[in-house]
Amino acid sequence: MAETLGKSQGSDTIFPQSLIPQSPMPSYLFWLFSTIMLIGAVAVIAFRNPVSSALAMVTSFVGLAALFIGLSAFFVGVIQILVYSGAIMVLFLFIIMLLDLKDEKRRTESYLPLVAGLSLVGIFFVQLVGVLSNKLPNQIAPVLDKAALAAAAGDFKEGTKIHLALKDGHLPDVHLIGHTLFTEYNLPLQILGVLLLVATVGVVVLSKRQTN
Amino acid sequence: MPSLNDYLLVSGLLFSIGLAGVVLRRNIIIVFMCLELMLSAANLTLVAFSRFNVKNGLPDYDGQMLVFFVITVAAAEVAVGLAIIVALYRARQTIHTDELVSLKG
C-alpha cells in the first residue's frame, strides 16, 4: 500500500495522492478496531453509571467508523463520527444530565431476564456459526486498483469530477454517493426530508409542557 | 486481509451484545443505546457486503445508500425517543423499565 501511495501521479490530479487508500484494510488493523468496538459495546452494558455507558458507546462507534473507512466507505465513516459520536451522543448526555439519574441498583431477585438474554445470544451465536460455515462468494475483497477504477470511468459522463477522479485511479466516494442519492434514490430522499420534518414537529409537541 | 466472514462475525457479535443489553438492562436510556448498537451492527454488514460485491469496478453503492437512510432514520428516532423519555420522566419520576408496569395486563 505504501508504495502506491508514495507515487506521484501528474499535475492534473484533483485529489491528493495520500488521501485515498484503495487496498483492503490489513488484518491486524481490522482486529484492533473490531476489538475496540466490541469492548466498547460490552462496556455500554457493564457500566452502572449512564454517563460512563454513553462514553463507552462513543468508543464503540469510533472503532466502527474505522472499520467503515477500512472498507473504503469514507463517507459513511465520516457520517458515523459526525452523527453518532457527535450529535446523538451529545443528545444522550444532555438527557442523562437533565434527568439527574442515580446509578442503577444491582439486581437482587429474578434471574429470568438473565437466562432469556443469554439464551438469545446463544441462539444468535449458533445461527452465526451456521452461516459462517457455509462458503460465501467473494471471500477476499476485490481490489479497487487503478485499472479497475479507470475501467469504471467509462460509465460516467466525460469531464465530470467522478470521471476525472476514476480515470486518475481514485475512488471519489462522496461524489459517487451524491450521484446515486440524487439520481436513483431521489424519491426516498424527499420522503426522508418529510420524515425529519415530522420528527422535529413531534419532538416539539412532546417536550412542550402540558398546560391543562 | 480480513474476509467477508470476519466482518459478518464481528457484526453478529455486536448485534448480540446490543440485544443482550436490551434484555438485561433496566435503565431505558441504556436500552436505547443498545438499540443504536444493533442498528450499527446491521450497518456494518451492509457496508461489508457493498465492498465485497464490486459491480463494474466500483463497490455496490446501493448498500451504502441503505446505510445512509438507516443513520438518518436512527437520528430522528433518537430525537423522538429521548423526547418521549423526558415526557415519561415528567409524568412518573422514573425511567426504570421494571417500575413502568401500567400497561401490564
- What pLDDT score does B71 carry? 93
Task: Report pLDDT digits (tens) over A167-193.
Answer: 777 788 888 899 889 999 999 999 999
ipTM reported for the complex, 2 dp: 0.92
CATH dotted code for B4-99: 1.10.287.3510
Residue A39 belongs to a domain: yes
Residue A10 confidence (pLDDT): 45
Contact B2 A176 (CB under 8 A): no
Q: Is residue A178 part of a domain?
A: no
Q: How confident is the model at residue A195 (pLDDT cuts 50, 70, 90)?
A: very high
Is A200 among the domain residues? Answer: no
Question: What does pLDDT average to over chain B?
Answer: 89
pLDDT in tens, A71-117: 989 999 999 999 988 889 999 999 988 887 766 666 666 778 778 87
**Contact predicate B2/A33, CB 8 Å:** no
From chain B, the residues in CB contact with A71 under 8 A are 7, 47-48, 50-51
Query: Does residue A122 sit within a domain?
Result: no
Give the domain extent around A61: 24-102
In a domain, A107, yes or no: no
Residue A3 pLDDT level (bands cut at 50, 70, 90)? very low
Smallest CA–CA distance from A65 into chain B, residue: B44
CATH number where A37 lies: 1.20.120.1200
Judge: A199–B86 Cβ closer than 8 Å, yes or no: no
A90 part of contact set with chain B, CB < 8 Å: no
Give the range with max mean pLDDT: A13-22, A112-121, B7-16, B65-74. Answer: B65-74
**Beta-carbon pairs below 8 A across chains A and B:** 228
pTM score, whole prediction: 0.84
Task: Kindly list the distances between the CA atom of residue A148 and the CA atoms of A166, A212, B95, in Å, as whole numbers in the listed order.
Answer: 9, 66, 54
Residue A46 lies in a domain: yes
Predicted confidence band of residue A14 (pLDDT cuts 50, 70, 90): low
Contact list in A for residue B32 (CB cut-off 8 A) is 92
- Chain B residues in contact with A92 by the CB 8 A cut-off are 29, 32-33, 78, 82
Does any CB of chain B come closer than 8 Å to the CB of residue A37?
Answer: yes
Residue A113 lies in a domain: no
Residue A126 lies inside a defined structural domain of this protein: no
pLDDT at residue number B43: 95
Overall number of domains in chain A = 1
pLDDT at residue A63, as a whole number: 95
- Residue ranges per structural domain of chain B: 4-99
Question: Are B71 and A84 a contacting pair at CB < 8 A?
Answer: yes
**Mean pLDDT: which of A2-11, A42-51, A119-128 is highest?**
A42-51
| A181–B67 C-beta distance less than 8 A | no
**For residue A147, how many other CB atoms are within 10 A of its CB?**
11
Whether residue A1 contacts residue A23, with contact meaning beta carbons closer than 8 Å, is answered with yes
Q: Where are the alpha helices (DSSP H) in chain A?
A: 2-6, 27-46, 50-70, 74-79, 89-99, 112-133, 146-152, 161-168, 173-183, 186-207
Distance of CA B41 to the CA centre of its chain: 7
